[in-house]
Amino acid sequence: MSQKALFLDRDGVINHDPGDYTKNLDEFHILDGALETMKEWFDAGYKLVIITNQAGLAKGLYERHDVDRIHQYLMGRCVAMGFRIEECFYCPHHEGTTGRCLCRKPGSLLIEKALHRYGLDASSSLMMGDKPRDVDAAEKAGVRGVLIPVNKGPLRPADLGL
């Protein structure tokens, strides 16, 4: 049996997206029900992987240690609930500041990296995001993309008939 994954955008899917940038842990607010829904996916046999653009790094709005602290906190909350996120991949670039890159969504490099690193099957995996670029990145990597409303939290497996 091939290993399937749920790829998740971060801001607006797992935590509240204030409309600009989540710059530090004090501004990181997990959406109601997001962790419980992520556990449902984990319990259904999906590996969980975060794929997020963090252009605020290139713009100098926050530092890598801020992003790492947020991800450590999120991963700790998941472990406390009995499941895990395999890894949080993020793109630190912004086209206007650092030029084009392959890892910034809608580029698919981070998804492809996770597929390879964890031996994941693209055809049985999916990516949830709140922006068309999330779906575009997924589809470029051969993963089903699911567009969800911003700040509503991830869909449950049953919502997608899985």
9 given a catalytic annotation: yes
- Catalytic, 11? Answer yes
3-state secondary structure 57-87: CCCCCCCHHHHHHHHHHHHHHHHHCCCCEEE
Check if the beta carbon of residue 124 is closer than 8 Å to that of residue 2: yes
Return the closest-CA partner of residue 5 out of 151, 129, 128: 128
CA distance 109 to 144: 15
- Region of residue 60 (phi > 0: left; psi between -120 and 50: alpha; otherwise: beta): left
CA within 13 Å, CB half, 124: 12
- The alpha carbon of residue 156 and the mean position of all alpha carbons in its chain are separated, in whole angstroms, by 15
Question: What residues are labeled active site?
Answer: 9, 11
